Amino acid sequence: MCGIFCVLNSFCNNCDNLVSQLIFEANIKNRGPDSFNFKVLSLQQSSLAFASSVLWLQGQTLSPQPIEDPESVFCYNGDIFSGLNDSIQKEKGDTHLFHSFLKEHISSDLLNGLGKLHGPYAFIFFDKTNNKLYFARDRFGRRSLLLGRNEEGDTLVLTSVAKRNTQFRFIEIPSIGVFCFDVLKNSFEVDFWPYKNKNFYTKLKELEAFLKTDISIARPASEGDCVPDDLSENANLVLLRGLKQPESLETYTIFTELLNCPTWKKNVYTLRNLLENAVQQRLAAQPEYCKSCIAEKKLCKHATTGILFSGGVDCAVLASLCDQYVDKQRPIDLLNVSFEEAKNYQSPDRVTGKDWNFVEINVTKESLDQERDRHIADLIYPLNTILDDSLGCALWFASKGQSSHYVSSARILIVGMGADELFGGYRRHRTAFKRYSWKGLQESLDDDWMNLPYRNLGRDDRAVSDHGRQLRTPYLDENVVDFVRELPSWEKTYPTNDLPEGFGEKILLRSLAYELGLRNAATLKKRALQFGSRIANPKENGKDISPRLDT
C-alpha cells in the first residue's frame, strides 16, 4: 500500500510553488509509514511535483518512490499477484516490474496488457519524451485515486487521499480505463477497458462536467446488457426447486442435499479452490515482520494478518481459509467494532462471533464524533452520503485495531468486500426476483457489480489505509470474479420464498461455509456493516447527504 500524489501547474514552471500545494502530506504519509519522497519536474511552460509514501509489502527490500529515470516518473499504489515476471517478483517486488511494464506498453496495447495483470492498483506515470501524464485505477476500482482542480483550472492534482475545504475540488477517478493528459496540448483522452459496462459513458460525462472540458475517446467502449441470453433451466435449478424448508435451523438438511449433488458440489469445490488460491496469494505477499517490528527488521511471531470480522458468512469463510495458510505459531487478529448505541457494546456482530478470539473495538459516541470531525470526514471525501458516513467511520475504527488493552500488529487486513455483489446478498436482490423473476435478479446483480467501483471501494481503501495497513479482498480476485459472474444467477443466490432467510441468498457461498464445517455461519442472515456494528440510524436514508460530513 502506498500514498501517491501529483500536482501539475499548466502555466508556471516554478517548482517551488508546487511544494506548498502538497497540503495532504500527512494523509499521504499515513498510508505508507515505511518511506516518503518528493520529486519536482520543470517543463518549458509548466511544472509537476510527485510524492509517494510506501507501505513495504512485496519484495525482499523496500522500493522507494517516486521512481524517476530519463524517460519517466512513476508513482504506484498496488499489489500485483500474477501477470508480471513471477520468477523474480518474490525477490524484487512488483513496483519496479510494474514500472517496466508501463514503459514497454504505454505507447501500444496498454489496455490488453493491463488486462492480464491480477491484483489491485492505481498509478501515475509521466512520459517525459511525449509530455503525457497517464493515470488509472484497476478495472474493479480497488485502490483510491482522486482528481482535483482549482477554480481557475490551471492546476490539477492526482492523489490517493485529499481533504475538505481546500482550494481544490475533487472527484473519484472512475475505473473505466486509462486516462492521459497531454501537457502541451492541455487535453484529456481516455482508453476504455475492453469489456461491457453500461456506466462507462455516464461516468465519463460526470468527469467532463467536473473538468469543464471534453475528454476524447481513444476507442469506443463496449456497451450492452450483461444479462445472459440463455436463462433456461438446468439441473441445479431443478435441484433447488425440489428443496424443502428444514423443520428447524439445526438440521441443515438443505446443504447436505445440495452437496450430495455432483453438479452443485463441483461449483462449491471450484469456488473453494479459487478462494484458497486468492487467500494464499494475499497472505504470502508480505514480509515476515509485524507492524511493530518492521522498522528494526526484527523477526517476531506477532500477528501480521488481521480480518475485519463480523461473524457473518463472508468473513467466516475467509477466516477459515486464512487459518490454513498462516503460520500456526502466529496469531490472526479478528477485528470487530461496536458503537455505543449497542447496549453494553453487544452488537449483533459481537453476539454471533463470541466463539472467535476478537479484538473488541468499542467506540463511544464522543470518540466517533471527535474523530469524524477531525479526520475521518477528510478520508470519506469527496463522497458525502449518510451511507458513506456510517461505513467509512465503521471501517476506520475497525481497521485501527485498538481495543482497551491491545493494538493490532497486523499490516494486512483481509476483508469480505464484493461478496454481496457477487453472490446476491442484498435484500434488493430478493425484491428484484419477486417482481421480475430470474431476469430481474440477473439485472440487479449486474447493476450492483457495475456500480461497485463507484460506490464503495475507493472510500474503503482510504479509510483502512490511513492506519498504515493494507486492504486485501479475496472475493475480488479476478479468477474468483470470472468464475462466479459466469454462473447462472440461481447457482449463486436463490432468494425465493421456498427457503427462509439465511439459506437461499448467497446459497453457493453458504454451501462452501457448510462444507468447511462452519455450520452456524452458513445460516446467518445478512447484516450490513453499518447496522451490525450499530453505527447507523435505520431511520435515515443512506442515499441522503450526511450533515455530519460538512463538505
Mean pLDDT over residues 224-250, rounded? Answer: 67
Going by their DSSP bridges, the two strands 2-9 and 47-54 should be labelled as antiparallel
Mean pLDDT over residues 369-383, rounded? Answer: 96
* CATH match of 252-532 with 3.40.50.620: yes
Q: Is 226 a catalytic residue?
A: no
Question: How far, in Å, CA of 157 to CA of 163, rounded?
Answer: 12
Q: Which helix (H) or strand (E) is 335 found in, with range?
A: strand 332-339
| Model pLDDT for residues 495-543, shown as the tens digit of each residue | 988 888 778 999 999 999 999 999 888 888 766 554 444 555 666 666 7
User: Following DSSP, what letter does each residue of 392-421 receive, concatenated?
Assistant: HHHHHHHHHTB-SS-B---SEEE--TTHHH
Mean pLDDT over residues 71-99, rounded? Answer: 90
Question: How far, in Å, CA of 46 to CA of 128, rounded?
Answer: 13
Residue 286: its pLDDT value, please? 92
Q: Is the peptide bond before 382 cis (omega within 30 degrees of 0)?
A: yes
Residue 317: its pLDDT value, please? 95
User: Following DSSP, what letter does each residue of 261-312 receive, concatenated?
Assistant: SHHHHHHHHHHHHHHHHHHHHHHHSS-S--TTTTTTT----S--EEEE--SS
Is residue 189 within 8 A of residue 177, CB to CB? The reply is no
Cα-based angle 42, 46, 48 (whole degrees, multiple of 5): 55
Going by pLDDT thresholds of 50, 70 and 90, the confidence category of residue 345 is: very low
> Which of 26-35, 330-339, 391-400 shows the lowest mean pLDDT across its residues?
330-339
Mean pLDDT over residues 261-277, rounded? Answer: 98
Sequence-distant (6+) residues with CB within 8 A of 442 are 227, 228, 231, 489
Mean pLDDT over residues 233-237, rounded? Answer: 81
Would you state the cell numbers that stand for residue 270, as one nine-digit string?
471450484
Is the pLDDT score of 35 beyond 70?
Answer: yes
Answer with the residue of higher pLDDT: 69 or 251: 69
Question: How far, in Å, CA of 176 to CA of 286, rounded?
Answer: 29
420 is in an annotated binding site: no
Mean pLDDT over residues 239-268, rounded? Answer: 82
Question: How far, in Å, CA of 50 to CA of 42, rounded?
Answer: 12
Torsion angle of C-alpha atoms 454, 207, 122, 368, degrees rounded to 10: -50
Let me know if 159 is exposed, middle or buried by CB neighbors in 10 A (0-12, 13-18, 19+). Answer: buried
* The domains spanning 2-217 and 252-532 adopt the same CATH topology: no
Average pLDDT, the chain: 88
How many Cβ atoms are within 10 Å of 31's Cβ, its own excluded? 28
Counted residue by residue, the chain has a size of 551
Answer with the residue of higher pLDDT: 119 or 355: 119
| Model pLDDT for residues 196-231, shown as the tens digit of each residue | 677 888 999 999 999 999 999 998 766 544 545 556
Q: Which helix (H) or strand (E) is 378 found in, with range?
A: helix 377-380
Strand, helix or coil for residue 124:
strand
Residue 11: its pLDDT value, please? 67
271 is in an annotated binding site: no
Residue 254: its pLDDT value, please? 87
Is the pLDDT score of 356 beyond 70?
Answer: no
Mean pLDDT over residues 142-160, rounded? Answer: 95
| Residue bearing cell 469445490 | 269
| Model pLDDT for residues 444-463, shown as the tens digit of each residue | 999 999 999 888 899 999 99
The domains of the chain are located at 2-217, 252-532
Q: Could you say which of 2, 290, 315, 393 is catalytic?
A: 2
Going by pLDDT thresholds of 50, 70 and 90, the confidence category of residue 38 is: very high
The residue type found at 386 is I
Mean pLDDT over residues 141-159, rounded? Answer: 95
Fold of 2-217: Glutamine Phosphoribosylpyrophosphate, subunit 1, domain 1 (3.60.20)
Is the pLDDT score of 551 beyond 70?
Answer: no
Is residue 4 within 8 A of residue 52, CB to CB? The reply is yes
User: Following DSSP, what letter does each residue of 127-191 receive, concatenated?
Assistant: ETTTTEEEEEE-TT--S--EEEEETTS-EEEEES---SSSSEEEEEPPSSEEEEEETTTTEEEEE
Answer with the residue of higher pLDDT: 162 or 244: 162
Query: pLDDT above 70 covers what percent of the chain?
Result: 87
Is residue 255 within 8 A of residue 522, CB to CB? The reply is yes
Going by pLDDT thresholds of 50, 70 and 90, the confidence category of residue 17 is: low
337 is in an annotated binding site: yes
